[in-house]
Amino acid sequence: MSQKIAGSTATVDPVGTTPPKCPPDVKYPLLVHLLRTKHRVTKGASDDVIEILNELSRDCLGKKILPKDARTVEMMYSSYLPTSEKHFFCKKCGAYVGKQKKREDKYFCSNCQSSSSFSDSEYVYYLPLADQLKQLFETNYEEVSIALEKDPRAGRSRLITSTKGGWRYCEFRKGIPDQEDHISLSFSCDGVPVFASSKSSLWPVLCTINELPMTIRKRHVLLAGLWYGVNKKPEMNQFLYPFVKELIKLRHEGFTYYRAGEKKTCKATALKNISDSVARPTLLGSHQYNGEYGCTDCYHTGLQIPKGKGTVRVYRHLDGVARRSSEETNQFAKAATALKKKPFHVMGIKGETILSYVPGFDIIDGLIVDYMHACILGTMRQFAKLWFNSKYHEKEFYLGHAKEEVNKRLKLLKPPFYFSRPPRSLEEMKFWKGHEFYLWGLIYSPAVLKGILPTKFLRHWLLFIEALFLLTQESIAKSQVYNAMDLMVQFTKGTEELYGLEHCSFNIHLGEHLGDAVLRWGNLFEHSAFLYEDYNQVILKAVHSCKGVLDQVVNQIRTERSIPSVLITPAGSSVNHLNVASKERLLSTQNSVSCSNDDSNALVFSPNVEEIPGETRLALASINVSVKPKTLLCFANRILVN
């Protein structure tokens, strides 16, 4: 099969091998089960679907292609599902005790010297990361092979763009031999509420490959671990034990996969963790934000002051507050572990974190402030509620009297079609999603609040908006980063001056650390939690009842990943694998490629292929030229025509 270059008869052979298909006797049962789990089809409905398919196959093929019921279907495909492991914890002290090998096995806990049955103990599911990466590279190589490409310009540009532009990533790449295939990972560990009627929550460990463009990265989120509990959080050092153990192995030995019959090895290093302000301290083993030294980035102590009927810890701007370092944090952790009386912490650190054993991972720089929770769902929501809260009706910034005018202006807005949600009224603010607060803050609020919010408060708000706008650009100059950091400092100071010290929240303080995060790891979109929050919804959709929550989720994920890419395109994917493969082969001709048609010959110098940008498609649409998303554009620096 071949792909033509537009306007010529030149052809480019696609590279890559076709992913292996499921055996015929397993393929159809697997697809039926995927239908059942993905769309919450009942067992009775599944049996009816099987009966219909068997009638069709009998008429068309003269034989049945499926067994008679869903139970038999499940037994047929179970051996083809990806590997999953149950890791158990001591019932008495919660220490990690390993995997269960046989149903009748018992464990002995060396920590508390107790023994018990595995069946009575708490466990987590672990899906080996090496197996998932192997499958990803074998079945989606055309998409993910870009992660293996060496970028000679990384670290040399004056602009910060993707993760590759951050100085931390550049340091990582310098230590990797040129001939070695090596990728880097980001991971997230955050709580996900499951049922509205209880305090139960799931804690997934999700991983992504940093070198992939965001459009591809979000299609390949890997679920490595999963914990479920009611009214509690997992003990992170125990929960992450199998994950950290495998990260050490991936760093030193890597994972293997087969490409065109050749065995290849690729190593992987976890560089970044992206979690909210509740999960981040549990990962580091430090105080929460409402405790002394609650910031995981610096040594700001915070200040406990009265608010309403209780107290609140606030974070006013202080000059000269030192940043934490991984070396000092490890020293504090060892010192805190040895303490036998209060305060049981040293500079906010309560004990050692298992993440300190992950090679290549810095426990301070690697625990990144997530701007989605800190700024979008934090600061933006804080001020939106503050302005319209009747509790502050006597304050100068109160806008409750202008709520109808604000709603009117929001209703008059006509955002472009690619905005995922139209603006909703203030009465529905409690239902706004993160993306809606993002649009409200950066796009709508400057125009909507003009002439309504007093000038000094509006100017103060625009300090925050401008800083966030600078840090979320696709390409950022370092001077812009430093400008944004100054704006965040002015915003923090202005909050205390205009609104009062009680409103100097921890989220506002985190805004002062965003500039450092951009310098280390690239623009804010590169390390936001939007990607992982979207995948959390995939996890929640797999839960059908309150019994066996972990089993439901893991079985759903394993089933979906067992479907070869040649049978089912991943949800949300519209990538043409042939086009991607052709692009790879075309770009491999570094100097030129020859093209011809009936009338002339052409020599194309420095050929390149890119997806047509969204703004270009919009411009073409305005003159009635329709171009589908993901369409590839072939272009060149110079063309010689004979």
pLDDT(80) > 80: no
Question: Are residues 424 and 314 located together in one domain of the fold?
Answer: no
In a domain, 570, yes or no: no
Q: How many CB atoms lie within 10 A of CB 415?
A: 13
- Within a domain: residue 10? no
**C-alpha–C-alpha distance, residues 441 and 447, integer Å:** 10
33-42, 457-466, 536-545, 572-581: range with highest mean pLDDT: 457-466
- Domain end point (choices 37, 63, 80): 80
In tens, the pLDDT along 103-147 reads 677 888 888 888 888 877 888 999 999 999 998 998 888 888 888
User: Quick one: what percent of the chain has pLDDT higher than 90?
Assistant: 47
CB 507 within 8 A of CB 382: yes
Count CA atoms within 13 Å of residue 46 on its CB side: 25
Residues 331, 388, single domain; the answer is: no
What letter represents residue 558's amino acid? R
CB atoms within 10 A of CB 629: 10
How confident is the model over 441-464, as a mean pLDDT? Answer: 95
Amino acid in position 641: V
Instruction: Label the pairing between strands 192-193 and 3-4.
Output: unpaired
Q: Would you say 170 and 271 are in contact if contact means Cβ atoms under 8 Å apart?
A: no
pLDDT exceeds cutoff 80 at 570: no
**621 pLDDT more than 70:** no
pLDDT at 587: 44
Mean pLDDT of 599-603: 47
pLDDT at residue number 154: 60
Residue position matching structure tokens 């426990």:
363
- Examine residue 474 and state whether it is found in any structural domain, yes or no: yes
pLDDT at 1 over 60: no
452 and 539 both lie in a single domain = no
Based on the structure, what is the number of domains in the chain?
5
Answer yes or no: do 389 and 324 share one domain.
no
- The whole-chain average pLDDT of the chain stands at 82
The residue range of the domain holding 346 is: 286-352
Question: How many residues are given for the chain?
Answer: 642
What is d(CA 616, CA 597) in angstroms, rounded to the nearest whole number?
27
Q: Per-residue pLDDT averaged across 66-91, rounded?
A: 73
Q: Determine the average pLDDT of the residues in 610-622.
A: 65
Same domain, 231 and 245: yes
- pLDDT tens digits, one per residue of 286-305: 999 999 999 999 999 999 99
Predicted structure pTM score = 0.79
Domain-ending residue, one of 49, 80, 111: 80
Instruction: Give the pLDDT band (50/70/90) at residue 20.
Output: very low
Diameter of the chain measured on Cα atoms = 89
| Range 557-580 average pLDDT | 50
What pLDDT sits at residue 568? 40
pLDDT tens digits, one per residue of 169-216? 989 988 888 889 999 999 999 989 998 878 889 999 999 999 998 888
520 and 556 fall within a common domain? no
Specify the higher pLDDT residue, 232 or 80.
232
For residue 521 the two structure tokens come to 């790891």
**HEC string for 128-173:** CHHHHHHHHHHHCHHHHHHHHCCCCCCCCCCEECCHHHCHHHHHHH
Band (79; pLDDT cuts 50, 70, 90): low
Is 594 in the same domain as 620? yes
Indicate the helix (H) or strand (E) that contains 543: none
What would you report as the CA-atom Rg of the chain, rounded to the nearest whole angstrom? 27
Give the burial string for 1-32 (b: 16+ CB within 10 Å, else e).
eebebeebebebebbbeeeeebeeebbbbbbb
Token pair recorded at residue 26: 């397993």
The rounded Cα 415 to chain-centroid distance in angstroms is 26
Token match 């069709």: residue? 56
Nearest 10 degrees: CA dihedral of 452, 454, 458, 461?
-110
